[in-house]
A and B are shown apart, each in its own frame.
Chain A
Amino acid sequence: MTVHGPNGATWWMRRSKNNVIAGAQQCCALPGMTMTLPAKLQEIVDDIASMSREEKLETLIAFAETMPDLPERFQEERSKMESVPECMTPVFIIAEKDANGGIVFHLDIPKQSPTVRGLASILTNGLNGCTLEQILSVPADFYLPMNLQEAVSQQRINGFIGVLAHMKQAAVKVSQ
């Protein structure tokens, strides 16, 4: 499949061995779950869901390595952020509106933390350009069908959900 980056950039990701067509797999793997995710996020979730553990790790690396640097215009705000020495990974999130009124997120995460970068990049790729309503409607457990637990620790996934929560807050702020 091809994943669309924030600036229209694309990259190719390995198709899973069982060759599930992206988007064709329903995301209702867990009983009682119904989800209406933004289309791009749904596509990523479906694709990762169909991958082996090794493919998931490769995909996370691809997402981490293709995460764009924080645009120059935000550098000043970034430097004003307090650094937290005990913190595992400092994550900086800022949202802005694009020309169509969609919300675009910019994240700054150290390159020494590829897992956090990879997970956060799933969110920016899946949500950039979405409306505030679409972003707020993403449930905190949307990640379950991806079965990331087999590749990364629960602590990591909790961090990932924390990033989503902060992105929602940033989206609300930019919409006020």
Chain B
Amino acid sequence: MSYAHPDYLVETEWVAQHLSDPEIRIVESDEDPLLYAIGHIPGAAQVDWFTTLQHPLRRDFVTRDQFEEVASKLGITNDTTVVFYGDKSNWFACYALWLFQYYGHQKVKIMNGGRTKWEQEKRELVKDVPAFKPTTYKAKEADKSIRAFRDDVFKSLEAKKPLVDVRSPKEYSGELTHMPNYPQEGATRGGHIPGAVSIPWAQAVNEADSTFKTAEELKALYEGKNIKSDGEIIAYCRIGERSSLTWFVLKYLLGYPTVKNYDGSWTEWGNLVDAPIEK
């Protein structure tokens, strides 16, 4: 069994051989934004989930116009293949890929294993920041079929459609409202959305090199918890970054047709007045 859409995943060796391919833009997207400055893949651009991709005022992503500006500055055209990689098993690489897809950019890939694997293989990292010639980029209307808002979650809840909670077991149980070492981050209530199944994101990746598990392993993992391809699935975590990884796995590695990422996630649901919670 192979991945459903293997085109969306490339290996480090493939990236190493496409460093100066003009059709390709390699983009680093990290949980820790300073990592890029310390060293990145030669020729790679950087997006920061917070300063590049978030709206400066509202809790939302950049607007369509702002996204066009972001892509233009990175020298990305509508035909460029964008390859994302990052730290923490590609959490924010998947998050950036998801946002690019949200604005209609179809040619996207994840570098399997991300920074971890690239570093483990002792491949080159440089500090030079490349300059790109701005492009004329046209974004599409936001694709809401891959993004869940709170009202979508309420509807799923009523219709008993599958919800996947990808946070750590203690966040799911309500013992913690935030990740360890990140106090005050988050929510006034602990627990999970009623009926959500707990499948921590980390179960989809190999701990040793941050690569994705095999198609068989992933199928067994999600189907074993009754998350199947015919379901209309919503994945969530705390702010939507870990669940972007799960979204990527379900959508492209397993090929589930209907998967949404709920980026409001627990920092919205756990603070929302009148929202039901299970513990």
User: Contact check: which of A64, A91, A115, A151 meets B181 at CB < 8 Å?
Assistant: A91
Q: Is the interface of B mostly helix, strand, loop or mixed?
A: loop
Q: A158 and B185: CB pair below 8 A?
A: yes
Contacts of B167 in A (CB 8 A): 86
Closest to B91 in A: A88
Contacts of A115 in B (CB 8 A): 32-34
State in angstroms the CA–CA spacing of A44 and B183 once bound together.
Answer: 24
Q: A162 and B183: CB pair below 8 A?
A: yes
Contacts of B115 in A (CB 8 A): 112
B168 part of interface (Cβ distance < 8 Å): yes
Q: How many A-B residue pairs have CB under 8 A?
A: 74
B131 part of interface (Cβ distance < 8 Å): no
Contacts of B183 in A (CB 8 A): 158-159, 161-162, 165
Q: Mark B180-205, 1 if CB is under 8 A from A, else 0.
A: 11111100000000000000101000
B31 part of interface (Cβ distance < 8 Å): yes
State in angstroms the CA–CA spacing of A57 and B37 once bound together.
Answer: 9
Contacts of B161 in A (CB 8 A): none
Q: Mark A119-151, 1 if CB is under 8 A from B, else 0.
A: 000000000000000000000000000000001
Most chain B CB within a 10 A radius of its CB, from A86, A90, A165:
A86
B10-48 at interface with A (beta carbon < 8 Å):
31-35, 37-38
Closest to A165 in B: B183
Q: A84 and B180: CB pair below 8 A?
A: yes
Q: Mark A81-94, 1 if CB is under 8 A from B, else 0.
A: 00011111111000
Most chain B CB within a 10 A radius of its CB, from A112, A113, A118:
A112
A100 part of interface (Cβ distance < 8 Å): no
State in angstroms the CA–CA spacing of A152 and B51 once bound together.
Answer: 8
State in angstroms the CA–CA spacing of A61 and B32 once bound together.
Answer: 11
State in angstroms the CA–CA spacing of A85 and B184 once bound together.
Answer: 20
A155 part of interface (Cβ distance < 8 Å): yes
Most chain B CB within a 10 A radius of its CB, from A85, A113, A155:
A155
Total number of B residues with any Cβ neighbor in A under 8 Å: 28
Q: B182 and A159: CB pair below 8 A?
A: yes
B87 part of interface (Cβ distance < 8 Å): yes
Closest to A113 in B: B32
Contacts of B154 in A (CB 8 A): none
Q: B168 and A86: CB pair below 8 A?
A: yes
B132 part of interface (Cβ distance < 8 Å): no
Closest to A118 in B: B34
Q: B33 and A89: CB pair below 8 A?
A: no
A7 part of interface (Cβ distance < 8 Å): no
A18 part of interface (Cβ distance < 8 Å): no
State in angstroms the CA–CA spacing of A50 and B267 once bound together.
Answer: 32
How far, in Å, is A147 (CB) from chain B's closest CB? 13
User: Contact check: which of A86, A116, A165 meets B202 at CB < 8 Å?
Assistant: A86
B179 part of interface (Cβ distance < 8 Å): yes
State in angstroms the CA–CA spacing of A58 and B127 once bound together.
Answer: 13
Closest to B178 in A: A158
How far, in Å, is A164 (CB) from chain B's closest CB? 11
State in angstroms the CA–CA spacing of A151 and B87 once bound together.
Answer: 19
A66-123 at interface with B (beta carbon < 8 Å):
84-91, 112-116, 118
15 residue pairs bridging A and B, Cβ less than 8 Å apart: A85-B202, A86-B202, A89-B32, A112-B87, A112-B115, A114-B38, A115-B34, A118-B34, A153-B49, A153-B50, A158-B183, A161-B183, A161-B184, A162-B182, A162-B184
- Where the two chains meet, the residues of B that have a C-beta atom closer than 8 Å to any C-beta of A are 31-35, 37-38, 49-51, 87-88, 115, 167-168, 170-171, 179-185, 200, 202, 207, 239
List 15 additional contacts besides A86-B180, A114-B38; criterion CB under 8 Å.
A58-B37, A61-B34, A84-B181, A85-B207, A86-B167, A86-B171, A91-B181, A115-B32, A116-B32, A151-B51, A152-B50, A155-B182, A159-B185, A162-B182, A162-B184
